[in-house]
Amino acid sequence: MRITIVKDYDEMSKKAAEIISKQIRTKPDSVLGFATGGTPIGTYKELVRMHKEEGLDFSRITTFNLDEYYGLGPDHPQSYHYFMFSNLFNHVNIDPKRVHIPDGLAKDVEAFCKKYEEEIKKAGGIDLQLLGIGRDGHIAFNEPGSSLTSRTRLVALAEETIKDNARFFEKEEDVPRFAITMGCGTIMEAKKILLLANGEAKSDAVAAFIEGPITSQITASILQMHPDVTVIIDEAAASKLKRKEYYKHVDRLFRDLEKKT
């Protein structure tokens, strides 16, 4: 796990966009895994800027989103479909046919989830998966207790997550109670993973998944078993890490080495 600790949200977003744009430039037909929530908005803004000002080309990119609220259609302003199009896809030259987001209105959910997994495989697997983390340590909607080998499926949201996501809705009762989400096992098959977190509210979850035991109670902790994870967090999110200075030291060493090579 490579851990980069940055000053604030802006720096986190710029660094994340740099990594994603490098992936796109190196492999223009990359398969990218995207996330929603407050965390990646700045990253998407920066990617839009790179497209407009630097010609970053999304035309051959394929995307898969982590999750979608069950019961919300693509036109619902709080759906993750809506989020992705309004924050990123509407502003870059992506081919909408290559965009995949779980269908919150799927009639046969089990069949849909199976098909979603097959589509990821057919595309050649995800080259780079972007992730946030919940205060309860979740990745995507894999809430505490989710199997660490889980696949795409219907899940119920934890109470903490419903409360956290209520800020996007008029009232807490409006937050859907279910979602379709990629599983931990699905996420673990991505070739590279980029996890972002900012703010003090995430500091317990960050410390637990990086320095705690691997446990289904903190589903992000399974990332300790992944061979290529980059974590970019701000100082506030990093504040409860015991070995913070060590991670900074390692990151500095690698940065110097990369400058020389």
Active site residues: 67, 136, 138, 143
| Binding span for ligand PGA by CB under 6 A among 33-41, 46-54, 85-93, 252-260 | 33-41
By the rule CB under 6 A, 37 interacts with ligand PGA: yes
By the rule CB under 6 A, 195 interacts with ligand PGA: no
Among 42, 104, 132, 137, binds ligand PGA (CB under 6 A): 132
By the rule CB under 6 A, 104 interacts with ligand PGA: no
d(CA 148, CA 218): 10
Of 102 and 134, which CB lies nearer to ligand PGA in the complex structure? 134
Give the x-and-dash track for 133-162 against ligand PGA (CB under 6 A): xx----------------------------
**Residues facing residue 62 across a β-bridge:** 31
Taking Cα atoms as reference points, which of 230, 251, 239, 255 lies closest to residue 17? 230
Contact present, 69 and 79 (Cβ < 8 Å): yes
Of 25 and 163, which CB lies nearer to ligand PGA in the complex structure? 163
CA distance to 23, 183, 247, 256, per residue, from 253 (Å): 22, 34, 10, 5
**Interaxial angle between packed helices 80-87 and 41-54, expressed in degrees from 0 to 180 and rounded to the nearest 10:** 40
Give the DSSP H/E element, type plus range, for residue 59: none
Q: Looking at beta carbons, which residue is closest to ligand PGA?
A: 37
d(CA 105, CA 71): 5
Of 163 and 243, which CB lies nearer to ligand PGA in the complex structure? 163
Instruction: Give contact residues for ligand PGA (rule: CB under 6 A).
Output: 37-39, 132-134
